[in-house]
């Protein structure tokens, strides 16, 4: 196109280039703003009244450890009480006390209990020589602290409909830019078919929103909006790459949302997994075993199995099982302090992945294992022991298979000969195209990075940075990185340590994975070939990321808020 019309289109493209990152930044800010707003005051749920000493101990959390240890949530200075004596839990059907292998036992209304026992208002609890009566909180007038993460004002943030509207506008603008490629501007032939994908994506987003708000009656939609934003970027960027890939991304995103909703439902009872852990172990190890036996080596790693023409990456699915069996409710953590089962399971997972040659995923599992085991035990010794044995094992492996190192020789030298033509090829191109994109990108569909091998997965940051610019790339990376702060802020507000642990570790896992992806592609770390959550091509990865987000969503007490109305209602308002 030439002349004035050409100029108008050029101007439109420039405006779009600036508007899209701007909108993404606004959307991400709004998502987090909403996550930080709208919180109930962290007031005690019930109280334990020590009638002898006439003092009231507030019960702040859904799960509270009781014991002589100073770090207990409810600390009792009584020599007859064990350091870890009992756990007082809140469940949908009321309050429960659980003896966690104390020496002197727990007595409810003077009867010694075994395992979990329901307790009710005005019940008498005896631990050691201390006696409590369970009371409502009206009588309590203390102040409680709140996390820096949450706004203090109690005002409600942006409405959730606004988030989904912003998301739709973002999807629309991105689709517009997708149509206005340099080639389209030059020839004047504008292909509008990407708008089909806009329709499908917007439809999926609104459907997800309406279902969660109308059917599941959930009020909040921030985590889903973030996942949908990332998913949309991945889907639309792939339009110019391969039609099949776009379809796979879209279908697996839909499947991911289904898994997400299913998991929210399934995780509603935090004890459910504890009862079925065995099956998760078996299923996870079974999947990895099948992968090891039948997996075909593809691009250096044998981490794929193909069933009826569909390639699946079992390790992605196992991530979810890994978090499920890793986390547990507080009383389970304290009665089963032994990490042995989980340790063996983790070693098997990491070992299997290393055998497949998928060192990136093996590292992700290992880092997640460290997080989980530390959050469960708080034991630095376990941490140090695990790291040193991993280092030892790697040294042994490298001693016998030194050629593994050759894969990583280009690290920090990707522009040097000869690496720039072989093992450093992708990293050098990623950096070149990141540089070519500048702050606002060269426009969707105008990039060259997509012609590089594995650009849609391992080095997708190259495509995002090149076609959409550095600003949005950093905004997206930060939006995932900041989940760690969110997950940690809701730790004590979660309905169970099962959620706290799984959410923190899911966020940690995503950050480790994102680090390996971005820093591997940009030659800051060795290139290991893991995916950028939601954006990289790959059905298994997409589904798995939605599953990981489900852990984070489940940890937010608001997710199940509708269910708890009516139960000790005074505590929640």
Partner 1 sequence: MKRVLTRSLLTWFLAAAFFVGLGYFVVRLVTNAEDWAQLPMNGHLSASGLGTAGTIYDRKGVVLAESVDGERVYNSDPRIRAAVLHTVGDDSTSIATSVQSVYRNDLVGYSFLLGMGLPESFRSTSDITLTIDAEACAAAYDVMAANNYKGAVVVYNYKTGEIICKVSTPTYDPNSPPKIEEGDDTYEGVYLDKVLSAAYPPGSTFKLITAAAAIETIPDSPARYLYCEGGTIIGGEYVTCVEPHGEIDMREAMADSCNIYFAELAVELGSDTMTKYANAFGFNKSFSMGHNDLKKSSYDVSKADTAALAWSGVGQYTDLANPMHMAMICSAIANGGSPTNPYLIKDVSSFFKIGDIKAGISGENGDKMMKSATANKLADMMRYTVSDHYGDSMFGNLHVATKTGTAEVGDGKEDGWIVGFVTDEDVPLAFAVCIENGGFGISSAAPVAKAALEASAQALNN
Q: Is 11 in the site for partner 1 (CB under 8 A)?
A: yes
Classify 139 as helix, strand or coil.
coil
Binding test (CB under 8 A) with partner 1, winner from 23, 48, 49, 61: 61
Burial class (CB in 10 A: 0-12, 13-18, 19+), 236: buried
Cβ closer to partner 1: 218 or 429? 429
Instruction: Tell me the window of 24-32, 61-69, 306-314, 530-538 that interacts with partner 1 (CB under 8 A).
Output: 61-69
Q: How far is the CB of 83 from partner 1 (least distance, A)?
A: 12
Q: How far is the CB of 290 from partner 1 (least distance, A)?
A: 31
Q: How far is the CB of 36 from partner 1 (least distance, A)?
A: 16
Q: How far is the CB of 124 from partner 1 (least distance, A)?
A: 24
Cβ closer to partner 1: 73 or 316? 73
Q: What is each CA distance from 411 to 75, 338, 361, in whole angstroms?
A: 51, 39, 18
CA distance 395 to 399: 6
Instruction: Tell me the window of 60-68, 241-249, 293-301, 342-350 that interacts with partner 1 (CB under 8 A).
Output: 60-68
Joined tokens for residue 415: 């522009």
Binding test (CB under 8 A) with partner 1, winner from 23, 35, 253, 518: 518
Q: Is 23 in the site for partner 1 (CB under 8 A)?
A: no
Q: How far is the CB of 17 from partner 1 (least distance, A)?
A: 8
- Residues within window 140-159 making contact with partner 1, judged by CB under 8 A: none
Binding test (CB under 8 A) with partner 1, winner from 98, 426, 446, 536: 446
SS (H, E, C) 378-396: CCHHHHHHHHHHHHHHHHH
Q: How far is the CB of 473 from partner 1 (least distance, A)?
A: 9
DSSP single-letter state for residue 532: P
- Residues within window 176-195 making contact with partner 1, judged by CB under 8 A: 182, 185
Q: How far is the CB of 9 from partner 1 (least distance, A)?
A: 8
Cβ closer to partner 1: 211 or 391? 391
# residues near partner 1 by CB under 8 A: 75
CA distance 355 to 357: 5
Joined tokens for residue 350: 């990491």
Contact status, residue 258 vs residue 200, Cβ threshold 8 Å: no
Contact status, residue 227 vs residue 568, Cβ threshold 8 Å: no
User: Cβ contacts of residue 147 below 8 Å, gap of 6+?
Assistant: 488, 489
- Residues within window 288-307 making contact with partner 1, judged by CB under 8 A: none
Query: DSSP H helical segments within 420-496, as ranges?
Result: 425-437, 460-468, 470-481, 483-489
CA distance 521 to 443: 21
Instruction: Tell me the window of 2-10, 23-31, 156-164, 384-392 that interacts with partner 1 (CB under 8 A).
Output: 2-10
Q: How far is the CB of 203 from partner 1 (least distance, A)?
A: 30
Q: How far is the CB of 439 from partner 1 (least distance, A)?
A: 6
Q: Is 526 in the site for partner 1 (CB under 8 A)?
A: no
- In the chain, what is the greatest distance between 2 CA atoms, to the nearest angstrom? 91
Q: How far is the CB of 515 from partner 1 (least distance, A)?
A: 5
Q: Is 560 in the site for partner 1 (CB under 8 A)?
A: no
Q: What is each CA distance from 15 to 23, 37, 465, 495, in whole angstroms?
A: 12, 32, 18, 46
User: Cβ contacts of residue 7 below 8 Å, gap of 6+?
Assistant: none
Q: Is 366 in the site for partner 1 (CB under 8 A)?
A: no
Helix axes 359-377, 380-400, angle to 10 degrees: 160
Instruction: Tell me the window of 19-27, 56-64, 152-160, 255-263 that interacts with partner 1 (CB under 8 A).
Output: 56-64
CA distance 148 to 127: 35
CA distance 103 to 543: 46
Window 308-347: contact mask with partner 1 (x via CB under 8 A): ----------------------x-----------------
Scored b (16 or more CB within 10 A) or e, 248-284 reads: bbbebbbebbebbbebbeebebbbebbeebeebbeeb
Binding test (CB under 8 A) with partner 1, winner from 246, 291, 427, 494: 494
CA distance 172 to 201: 10
Q: How far is the CB of 304 from partner 1 (least distance, A)?
A: 28
Helix axes 243-266, 194-210, angle to 10 degrees: 0
- Residues within window 64-123 making contact with partner 1, judged by CB under 8 A: 64-65, 71-73
- Residues within window 462-491 making contact with partner 1, judged by CB under 8 A: 469-470, 474, 477-478, 481-482, 484-485, 487-488, 491
Joined tokens for residue 102: 């104390």
Cβ closer to partner 1: 47 or 204? 47
- Residues within window 420-439 making contact with partner 1, judged by CB under 8 A: 420, 428-429, 431-439
CA distance 32 to 53: 44
Joined tokens for residue 355: 């055998």
Q: How far is the CB of 186 from partner 1 (least distance, A)?
A: 8
Q: Is 378 in the site for partner 1 (CB under 8 A)?
A: yes
Nearest to 538 by CA among 246, 289, 276, 228: 246
Q: Is 500 in the site for partner 1 (CB under 8 A)?
A: yes
Contact status, residue 239 vs residue 450, Cβ threshold 8 Å: no
Cβ closer to partner 1: 290 or 420? 420
Q: Is 385 in the site for partner 1 (CB under 8 A)?
A: no
Binding test (CB under 8 A) with partner 1, winner from 66, 512, 530, 542: 512
- Residues within window 200-239 making contact with partner 1, judged by CB under 8 A: none
Q: Is 522 in the site for partner 1 (CB under 8 A)?
A: yes
CA distance 96 to 103: 19
Contact status, residue 466 vs residue 447, Cβ threshold 8 Å: yes
Q: Is 545 in the site for partner 1 (CB under 8 A)?
A: no
Binding test (CB under 8 A) with partner 1, winner from 504, 527, 530, 554: 504
Cβ closer to partner 1: 264 or 518? 518
């Amino acid at each position: 196109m030439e002349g004035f019309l050409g100029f108008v289109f050029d101007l439109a493209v420039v405006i779009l280039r600036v508007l899209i990152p701007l909108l993404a930044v606004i959307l991400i800010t709004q998502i987090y703003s909403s996550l930080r707003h709208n919180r109930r005051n962290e007031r005690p749920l019930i109280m334990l009244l020590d009638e002898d000493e006439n003092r009231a101990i507030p019960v702040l959390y859904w799960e509270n450890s009781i014991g002589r240890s100073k770090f207990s949530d409810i600390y009792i200075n009584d020599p007859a009480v064990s350091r870890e004596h009992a756990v007082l839990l809140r469940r949908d059907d009321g309050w429960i006390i659980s003896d966690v292998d104390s020496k002197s036992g727990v007595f409810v209304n003077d009867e010694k209990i075994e395992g979990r026992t329901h307790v009710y208002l005005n019940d008498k609890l005896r631990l050691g020589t201390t006696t409590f009566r369970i009371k409502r909180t009206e009588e309590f007038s203390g102040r409680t602290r709140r996390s820096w993460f949450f706004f203090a004002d109690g005002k409600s943030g942006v409405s959730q409909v606004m988030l989904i509207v912003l998301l739709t506008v973002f999807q629309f603008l991105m689709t517009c830019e997708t149509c206005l490629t340099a080639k389209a501007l030059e020839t004047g032939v504008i292909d509008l078919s990407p708008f089909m994908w806009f329709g499908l994506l917007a439809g999926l987003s609104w459907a997800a929103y309406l279902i969660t708000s109308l059917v599941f009656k959930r009020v909040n939609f921030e985590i889903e909006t973030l996942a949908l934003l990332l998913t949309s970027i991945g889907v639309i960027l792939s339009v110019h790459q391969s039609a099949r890939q776009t379809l796979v991304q879209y279908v697996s995103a839909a499947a991911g949302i289904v898994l997400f909703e299913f998991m929210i439902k399934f995780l509603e009872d935090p004890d459910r997994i504890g009862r079925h852990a065995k099956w998760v172990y078996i299923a996870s190890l079974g999947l990895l075993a099948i992968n090891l036996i039948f997996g075909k080596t593809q691009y250096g790693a044998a981490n794929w199995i193909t069933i009826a023409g569909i390639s699946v990456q079992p390790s992605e699915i196992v991530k979810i099982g890994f978090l499920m069996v890793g986390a547990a409710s507080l009383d389970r953590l304290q009665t089963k302090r032994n990490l042995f089962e989980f340790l063996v399971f983790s070693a098997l997972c990491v070992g299997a992945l290393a055998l497949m040659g998928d060192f990136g995923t093996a590292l992700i599992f290992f880092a997640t294992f460290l997080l989980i085991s530390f959050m469960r035990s708080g034991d630095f010794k376990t941490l140090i022991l695990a790291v040193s044995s991993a280092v030892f094992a790697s040294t042994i492996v490298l001693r016998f298979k030194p050629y593994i190192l050759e894969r990583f020789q280009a690290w920090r030298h990707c522009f040097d000969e000869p690496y720039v033509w072989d093992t450093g090829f992708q990293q050098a191109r990623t950096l070149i195209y990141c540089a070519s994109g500048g702050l606002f990108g060269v426009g969707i569909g105008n990039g060259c990075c997509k012609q590089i091998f594995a650009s849609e997965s391992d080095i997708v940051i190259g495509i995002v940075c090149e076609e959409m610019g550095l600003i949005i790339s950093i905004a997206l990376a930060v939006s995932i990185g900041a989940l760690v702060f969110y997950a940690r802020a809701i730790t004590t507000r979660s309905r169970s340590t099962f959620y706290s642990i799984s959410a923190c570790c899911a966020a940690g896992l995503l950050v480790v994975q994102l680090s390996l992806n971005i820093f591997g592609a940009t030659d800051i770390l060795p290139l290991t070939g893991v995916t950028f959550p939601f954006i990289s091509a790959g059905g298994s990865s997409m589904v798995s990321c939605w599953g990981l987000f489900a852990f984070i969503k489940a940890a937010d007490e608001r997710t199940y808020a509708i269910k708890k109305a009516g139960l000790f209602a005074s505590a929640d308002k």
